[in-house]
Amino acid sequence: MTIKKRDCPSNDSVSTSKETTPKRTPLVPRPVDDARDDTIDHWPFHIENKQKCKLCMKVYSRLKCIKCNKSLCLTKDKNCFLKYHMK
């Protein structure tokens, strides 16, 4: 009994020694909702037609956050503008 070792040379797996893998970390765009927490450039601006405050949903406000583009009320009793961004 002889066990024939089969060395098959017909295996054509040529190792491609060309390694061109540039190490570059892709720029991942931050989700829009993330901008709310960065507290940068969130300024109120006046709009022509008042809209319902996006936070309390009760008060109509003519103020909008320039970055979030959301109307938020800002009165002496209520400051949803601040509240919204401090959350």
Q: What are the angstrom distances between the C-alpha of 42 and each of 11, 60, 68, 84, 85?
A: 64, 19, 7, 11, 8
Is 62 or 68 the residue whose CB approaches Zn ion more closely? 68
Is 14 or 54 the residue whose CB approaches Zn ion more closely? 54
CB of 14 vs Zn ion, minimal distance in Å? 58
Is 8 or 74 the residue whose CB approaches Zn ion more closely? 74
**Rg, the chain, Cα only:** 31
Cα–Cα nearest to 30, from 67, 55, 78: 67
Q: Which residues of this protein are in contact with Zn ion, per CB under 5 A?
A: 42, 53, 55-56, 59, 65, 67-68, 73, 80
